[in-house]
Structure 1
């Protein structure tokens, strides 16, 4: 089979399209013929080895997993003897980040609990765009942010992969959503139902008179004090992504700020979850949420796909067709 191989940390130029041995499922595994995959921040970490702390999970001197790729959608080709949830021919999607990665290939073996049945009303590409970004948005809003109907929610970085899912999921919870984005992304946020849109090139969210029950920081390098300034009393700020400096400040100072005041500051470490993946599946099936795809690349164009993704201006998701 063809697969993308990454044997050392570096730029997208270290990725190579090579022939690899087709895997065989063990007792608890499912063999999936991959039709589509997508890029996430975790793929960049696995490629570059940055931030350095991530190497304790991904390999200190070189990548622990030679075939990257977390989000996939495809068709089950075979199952191990102990698999009970799927059968050959099932259309599935899932997040492989918790069980060895390997999605940038024509075939992958994966534990059955990393997968869910693909919604019938969406394409393989739309399904591959959803697992990690959709679950991240869901966990940030519901689990960390404690979102409830009627909440006023600000999503900073609302036009990217996680951001577009977050806007739609927050609306599905009955929240009033304000999305922060650049001028070129205003129409995208309008199309997915954002109630209010702030163009950060024209106005700062801290200059508004609004205060929020929940702020989801998906991207950017704003200070914690800026986010704290727009929170209501007992409001929550959840860091999902952004600059490394912002991450470390949230990890180190967030608990202290939370203990000494009424506003909560926390950081989300997304974890693959079949239950949460099925919750995202239900949102997709009922059309409460849809995948926003910016660009599609072939597997042979993986280097170009990563370079585009690294620029940080993707409108929604970047998808790899296989």
Structure 2
């Protein structure tokens, strides 16, 4: 089968197409013929070696995490799926890749594709959907009446997280460029700051949760808009000692990550707030809940651009520019419903 392979760390120049063997599934896995694969920023960061200390790959490695497709084979222990089922999933951090014609997907990571979504639309959801759910619902316990700040509202995470937070009953604040201000309001944002004209920390206040999605000093600035007993859930780091412990890392790595996060944790405590780092986990049960919200129209996928499989590297390069308004998707086959 054809797959987009990372040969060695360095840059996207080390990424190329190759013919590799079709996966052999384990008893608890399903073999999915992939119709579409969603791209995420981590997909262009991995080739650079940025996540080398955290994510372990056996080179050559197939890139990609999000997928939507059709089940063609099920393992002997699989009970939730059968051949012919249309599914979507994230296989992030499972030692597998979705930028290929087929993928072996653990049963626990998959969910049935919402009937009203095309394969391309479904493939755009898993990582941003799971990240938003695990950050806002599981970690921050967002509920009606909360105020949630989700910066970079027009990006892949932002476009989904804004909609989810709004459906949870929260008041949502975000930042975006002038041209996107009214558009992010249509997604559910209540307080929108044009980052080209204002500093969000100067005009926002009284927030319960900040979703960390922007690198640099944005997290420290966000402390100024939080009220006591609030939470920062960061998706971009710095990783903390608790994260290293959950991944079973050695003592040295736990110390390193504790040092990396020491400043933001100290500053958060001074403000009587709590900081934590979130690394998304594949979870078919969470994805099924998200799928029901998509099927009922409570949330809609936002796709900026679709690239053919042959142009997958161009898709990665486009995503890296930071100009995508929503998600970038790679189409392998007919992605209609």
Q: Judge same fold: TM > 0.5, yes or no.
A: yes
Q: Write out aligned runs for 1:49-60 (5 A).
A: 49-54=49-54, 57-59=55-57
**1:249 deviation in Å?**
8.2
- 1:188-214: CA deviation from partner (whole Å, max 9, x where unpaired): 312212112111001110111532111
**1:284 deviation in Å?**
0.9
- Distance in structure 1 (CA, Å) of the matches to 2:261 and 2:278: 10
1:122: which partner in 2?
117
- Distance in structure 2 (CA, Å) of the matches to 1:11 and 1:154: 33
2:335: which partner in 1?
none
- Runs of 4+ residues deviating >4 angstroms: 247-250, 258-261
Superposed CA RMSD in Å reads 2.1
**1:285 deviation in Å?**
1.5
**1:226 deviation in Å?**
1.2
Matching of residue 206 in structure 1 with residue 201 in structure 2:
yes
**1:228 deviation in Å?**
0.8
Q: Write out aligned runs for 1:154-303 (5 A).
A: 154-241=149-236, 251-303=261-313
Matching of residue 307 in structure 1 with residue 317 in structure 2:
yes
Instruction: In structure 2, list runs of 5 or more residues that go unmatched.
Output: 240-256, 333-337
Instruction: In structure 1, list runs of 5 or more residues that go unmatched.
Output: none
Which of 294, 315, 331 is the aligned partner of 1:321?
A: 331
- 1:116-168: CA deviation from partner (whole Å, max 9, x where unpaired): 00010111111101111111011111222221101111111121111111100
Q: Are the aligned partners of 2:11 and 2:48 in contact in 1 as well (CA < 8 Å)?
A: yes
SS at match of 2:316: helix
Q: Are the aligned partners of 1:46 and 1:58 in contact in 2 as well (CA < 8 Å)?
A: no
1:15: which partner in 2?
15
Number of equivalent positions: 315
2:242: which partner in 1?
none
- Distance in structure 2 (CA, Å) of the matches to 1:255 and 1:210: 20
